[in-house]
Amino acid sequence: MNWKQKSVIQNVTASLPRWLGSKIYYQMQRRFGKLGTADPRSRLEAGLRMLRYAEREGKAIEGSTVVEVGTGHRMNVPIALWLIGAARICTYDLNPYLRARLVLDDVAYMRANEQKIFDVFGDVAERAIFQKRWHRLMDMHVNADNFKHAFNVEYHGPGDAAKTGLADNSADLHVSFTVLEHISAAVLGSIMAEARRILKVDGLFIHHIDFTDHFAHADNTITHVNFLQFNEPTWMKLGGNRFMYMNRLRVDDMTALVLNANLEILHDDRLVDDRSLEALNSDLVVDAQFRNKSAETNATARQWVVARVLQDETVAA
């Protein structure tokens, strides 16, 4: 779909009373968008990648308490974490988007496609905890009343990840998948400070950020850096509505926020998009706020950032 048409539809829908706009937008996403079909694999892969990072740092997920920022409509990252052994998954979303119907469809997909799910998890699918939980997933009577409890999920929606209400030093992992790009820099600072407070001494902060212009996901006539040409007021008119809001922070800004929160970066895995790089190196004129950044920085499409809490003595040193 042409991105400008999508922007108009989103803005009109967002101007309706909140309950009505949300209902209409959800139905549109079900009919024409990403909520129309169930295929949980990309989020299960994300959960697996979180496990790989944790294990590289000597941290087990089995028995762990995980805090997730930005649940969204489905629960596939929490289900992946449950399958690989998490004991408690506390997930927060400012907007109560989670839908039982979608989660049940995802569970039905997993049950009907056992081999595809095992292929996602590879050798991890052979572990005793995975096998135990997989059999439970296959056998359990999961329904709209018990679907959160069945996967050890505590859902806080509406719930603000900047104010979790969890105890100090109580979380093993603090995670998100394609969420931080939708939150303002000021609020991100508060969420990171909260992560620092609730993470255990050996806890890990593991986040995946998608820096691309999300309008380009459904319109391949524009590049993933198309939105960098607009100044802030123009961009807010086009994509500042509650369905699309993107902070347009670049990978260097996000990394600086993590460091400013006194988190020590252990892994910083970036993917630069070639088509964006080509556009930036030829005719795309970006807004002044992006002009002093390198083309690689502006064209970074994705980042996995893994960090741990700097302890007070390390901060002081």
Ligand X SMILES: C[S@@+](CC[C@H](N)C(=O)[O-])C[C@H]1O[C@@H](n2cnc3c(N)ncnc32)[C@H](O)[C@@H]1O
* CB 95, min distance to ligand X, A: 4
Given the complex with ligand X, which of 153 and 277 has the nearer CB atom? 153
Q: Which of residues 147-206 bind ligand X (CB under 6 A)?
A: 160-162, 177-179, 182-183, 187, 191
Given the complex with ligand X, which of 187 and 286 has the nearer CB atom? 187
* CB 281, min distance to ligand X, A: 29
State both tokens at 268: 């910083």
User: Max Cα separation, the chain?
Assistant: 57
* Site size with ligand X, rule: CB under 6 A: 20
* CB 187, min distance to ligand X, A: 5
Q: Which of residues 58-87 bind ligand X (CB under 6 A)?
A: 69-70, 72, 77
Given the complex with ligand X, which of 97 and 290 has the nearer CB atom? 97
State both tokens at 299: 């064209």
Among 43, 133, 293, 302, binds ligand X (CB under 6 A): 43
* CB 317, min distance to ligand X, A: 32
Rounded CA-CA distance 299/273 in Å is 6
Rounded CA-CA distance 103/224 in Å is 29
Rounded CA-CA distance 203/144 in Å is 32
Given the complex with ligand X, which of 61 and 188 has the nearer CB atom? 188
Residue 16 identity: L
At a CB cut-off of 8 Å and minimum separation 6, what does 3 contact? 215, 216, 218, 219, 221, 222, 226
Compute the residue count for the chain.
317
* CB 197, min distance to ligand X, A: 15
Question: How does DSSP assign 105-117, residue by residue?
Answer: HHHHHHHHTHHHH
Site residues for ligand X per CB under 6 A: 43, 69-70, 72, 77, 92-95, 97, 160-162, 177-179, 182-183, 187, 191
